[in-house]
């Protein structure tokens, strides 16, 4: 009985959706990026694209040639977390604190109410 595998392209698209959505949300919520957006946006897509390409190739290889289903799910989850962290880390903020500090302060203010 032959096992069916999703295509490599499917994993790339699946792993790209969260960081693209986060990038759009960051652009809408924190628009004060200045000229840093010109450099950081393509760099974010390039770095996340390389992470996704490497790790989705690993997932595709593990699914095709081994039976490590749990490891595959862990790698997919870690890939999504890593791309989200890289997206926030590379997001520029022109006039105020870094976006990660602002997000932490916003979360703390929500919990204190």
How far, in Å, CA of 63 to CA of 90, rounded?
Answer: 31
Which of the four pLDDT bands, split at 50, 70 and 90, describes residue 64?
confident
Domain span at residue 73? 8-112
Which of the four pLDDT bands, split at 50, 70 and 90, describes residue 103?
confident
Domain assignment present for residue 99? The answer is yes
Domain assignment present for residue 44? The answer is yes
**What share of the chain has pLDDT > 70, as a percent?**
94
Domain assignment present for residue 108? The answer is yes
Domain assignment present for residue 15? The answer is yes
Average pLDDT of span 102-112: 86
Report the number of distinct structural domains present in the chain. 1
Locate 38 and state its tokens.
């010109």
How far, in Å, CA of 30 to CA of 109, rounded?
Answer: 17
Domain assignment present for residue 18? The answer is yes
Domain assignment present for residue 28? The answer is yes
Domain assignment present for residue 33? The answer is yes
Which of the four pLDDT bands, split at 50, 70 and 90, describes residue 99?
confident
Domain assignment present for residue 3? The answer is no
For the chain, first and last CA: distance in Å? 58
**Top-confidence residue, 56 or 113:** 56
């Amino acid at each position: 009985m032959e096992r069916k595998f999703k295509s490599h392209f499917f994993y790339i698209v699946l792993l790209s959706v969260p960081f693209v959505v986060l990038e759009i949300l960051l652009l809408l919520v924190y628009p004060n990026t200045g000229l840093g957006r010109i450099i950081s946006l393509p760099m974010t897509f390039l770095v996340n694209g390389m992470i996704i390409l490497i790790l989705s190739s690993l997932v595709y290889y593990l699914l095709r040639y081994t039976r490590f289903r749990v490891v595959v799910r862990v790698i997919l989850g870690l890939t999504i977390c890593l791309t989200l962290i890289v997206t926030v880390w590379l997001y520029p903020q022109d006039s105020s604190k870094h976006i990660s500090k602002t997000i932490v302060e916003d979360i703390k203010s929500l919990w204190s109410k």
